[in-house]
Amino acid sequence: MSRIVRQPIAVCRWQADDPVAFVHRGEVHTIVEILDRWVEMGDWWQGEGERKMLWVWTDHNALFELECTKQSWFVYKAWD
């Protein structure tokens, strides 16, 4: 089951333009695999641009959907 979280995260390591590790709820999650990536359009009528989305598997055996808007990163969804 997934839940929408939409919490900001601190990305602590990078490889090219993708995060390699991030801090969520005080724990460092290292990304083991990027399962999928896509771009979504934000609410253009409110001035939002494109959002980079990543579906990732981490070393905590957790599945997250990450979102990047204007260089700010968020955990958008988390799966139990």
- pTM, entire model: 0.86
Residue 46 to residue 55: CA distance in whole angstroms: 25
Domain ranges of the chain: 2-79
- Residue 66: predicted pLDDT: 96
Tokens of 65: 């959907």
Q: In the 8-state DSSP scheme, what is residue 28?
A: E
Q: How far apart are CA 45 and CA 63, in angstroms?
A: 31
Q: How confident is the model at residue 33 (pLDDT cuts 50, 70, 90)?
A: very high
- Residue 63's contacts (CB-CB under 8 Å, 6 or more residues apart) are 35, 55, 56, 57, 78, 79
pLDDT > 90 fraction of the chain, expressed in percent and rounded: 62
CB 20 within 8 A of CB 14: yes
Q: Does position 71 have pLDDT exceeding 80, yes or no?
A: no
Look at residue 76 and tell me whether its pLDDT is greater than 80. yes
